[in-house]
Amino acid sequence: KENFITLGIETSCDETSVSVVNDGRKILSNTIFSQIKQHQKFGGVVPEIASRQHLEAITHVAQKSVEDAGIEFDDVDLVAVTHGPGLVGALLVGVSYAKGLAYALEKPLVGVNHIEGHIFANFLESDFAPPFLCLVVSGGHSHLIYVNDYGDYELMGRTVDDAAGEAFDKIARALGLGYPGGPLIDKTARLGDESAISFPVAHFKEDNLSFSFSGLKSAVLNYLNHQKQKGLPIIVEDVAASFQKAVVDALVENTLKAARAKNVKTIALAGGVAANSRLRDELTNRAGGEFRIQFPPMILCTDNAAMIACAGYYRFLRGIKHDFTLNAHASLNL
């Protein structure tokens, strides 16, 4: 069917988002209600507050998304919703709303994996297609995934401790920059010297594509303590730039290794940390003429429902549907 309308719903963390997407790739609306203000004073996402905020916002966000798309709820052909991984109370709000909507509209329902959603952000408003290697880096995940085809994935490496975004958020907090940390470090680092301090990056054996960021995090915290104790100056811009360089080097190194191992032509970025300007530049530079680098626009890197609608549409094309026993799962494998 042409003009197939998917309504996507995303509530896995701190954004309540509903999006209307035509034929899987064309965004008719992408409404995002960010809860950042509600969590800011706690320096991070408070799960209990997130669930309540989703509950208050979801019907309004859905209404607005449908209005902005210029459609009626009755025009929806498929309801797609994130059912994991994420905060279980937050996920449940989206899943319950999606079930109610699919039931009322008598339309099919499909649960989407949030990480698959991030990968599919690359397909929106574009004709990009597999195979490719994808680095998915967000607040909760740092995965290297070989995307052989829609629905055909191979996990090649992942973090053994903190996610890249988590490291950005923790270091930003230690530097007194605020929350969420990624965009603030990105901005602050531009004013600093990234070779000012040499922070260690974890290295694994040649064929091991794991990441580890907790050692780096400790090294930065130790440096800050040391400077304070000795009464030495802390140049926040230099610390931010040197930390960011260490994270980006680790990400880019493994990504290029994985891409060579799979002999792909294209490397894609996905997830909130894919919005990082230093990561985009470094990967593009080091890929040279060897790989084509693809990344979604900034707004589609961080959490949004358009990517969920896109992934849901392709799941539906592969014959995947869920019934009303669909549940939320805090951890859910791809």
* Residues in contact with ligand KG4 by the rule CB under 6 A: 13, 138-140, 165, 168-169, 180-183, 186, 271-273, 275-276, 302-303
Between 8 and 192, CB nearer to Zn ion: 8
Out of 82, 138, 244, 266, the only residue in the binding site for Zn ion (CB under 5 A) is 138
Q: 332 and 116 in contact (C-beta within 8 Å)? A: no
Other beta carbons within 10 angstroms of residue 129's beta carbon come to 12
Residues 6+ apart with CB under 8 A from 259: 133, 267, 291
CB 174 to ligand KG4: min, Å: 14
Q: How far apart are CA 195 and CA 203, in angstroms?
A: 19
Judged by DSSP in three states, 126 sits in coil
Interaction partner, residue 304 (Zn ion, ligand KG4, none; CB < 5-8 Å by kind): none
Q: 243 and 199 in contact (C-beta within 8 Å)? A: yes
Ligand-binding annotation for 136, yes or no, is yes
Ligand-binding annotation for 114, yes or no, is yes
Q: Compute and round to an integer the Cα radius of gyration of the chain.
A: 20
Q: In angstroms, how far is CA 16 from the centroid of its own chain?
A: 14
Between 46 and 261, CB nearer to ligand KG4: 46
Between 267 and 273, CB nearer to ligand KG4: 273
CB 209 to ligand KG4: min, Å: 21
Ligand-binding annotation for 225, yes or no, is no
Q: How far apart are CA 256 and CA 85, in angstroms?
A: 27
CB 324 to ligand KG4: min, Å: 26
Between 5 and 118, CB nearer to ligand KG4: 118
Ligand-binding annotation for 137, yes or no, is yes
Ligand-binding annotation for 201, yes or no, is no
Q: Is 255 among the residues that bind Zn ion (CB under 5 A)?
A: no
CB 323 to ligand KG4: min, Å: 27
Between 13 and 76, CB nearer to ligand KG4: 13
CB 288 to ligand KG4: min, Å: 23
Q: 113 and 145 in contact (C-beta within 8 Å)? A: no
Out of 303, 307, 310, 322, the only residue in the binding site for Zn ion (CB under 5 A) is 303
Q: DSSP labels for 195-221?
A: TSS--------TT---B--HHHHHHHH
Q: How far apart are CA 201 and CA 267, in angstroms?
A: 22
CB 180 to ligand KG4: min, Å: 4
Ligand-binding annotation for 14, yes or no, is no
Q: How many residues bind Zn ion (CB under 5 A)?
A: 2
- Give the E-state strand segments of the chain in sequence order: 5-10, 15-22, 26-34, 78-84, 109-113, 132-137, 142-149, 152-158, 266-270, 292-294
Q: Which residues are annotated as a binding site?
A: 114, 118, 136-140, 169, 182, 186, 276, 303
Query: Which segments are annotated as binding site for Fe cation?
Result: 114, 118, 303
Interface residues with Zn ion (CB under 5 A)?
138, 303
